[in-house]
Amino acid sequence: MFSLGGWSGSGKTTLIIRLIAYYKKKNMAVGVIKKVAHDCSFQPHGKDSFRFLQAGADSVYLSSQKEIISIRPKQAHEDAWHLIKSDLKDHDFVLLEGLILDQVPVAEVFDSRRHKRLKFPLKKLSLIISDKQLQEKVPWFHMDDINGIAEYLEEYAYE
């Protein structure tokens, strides 16, 4: 499990898509949790699922022919950790996009063509993934070295 953080537009989503493809080739079950930057509700006010949650349902599932979505009320920041540990326990690897939790190592994705400085302090980072090496204190991979990044994430996560 690893958190991938960084500035908007740094390449986090593109990297995660490439990592998913890498892990799926290894027949691994991969989960992704994306932090939504804005305070929002996934269900419009007045819709049935919104009303179910307002009435006190602990979870509501929306099901179509192609997808199923689970919605739960969130009480505190740490609920995300509980969700990851319980609902995604059967996954071989879990990637968090933009969700930084104390219990999870953090890799910053950085594009020097778009940004001048890292978003996170070096002491918070376990890895930097960027278009060029920025320093030597924290391990670094080029953003196109998918095999190297994926292997490092696996090794680090399973230590």
Ordered by where they begin, the domains of the chain are: 2-40+75-157 (3.40.50.300)
Give the number of residues written for the chain.
Answer: 159
DSSP state of 43: S
- Give the largest Cα separation in the chain, rounded: 53
Interval 75-124: pLDDT, tens: 665 566 777 777 788 889 999 998 888 889 999 999 999 999 999 999 99
Q: For position 4, what pLDDT does the model report? A: 97
DSSP state of 117: S
Interval 26-73: pLDDT, tens: 999 999 988 876 666 666 677 788 888 888 888 888 888 898 888 877
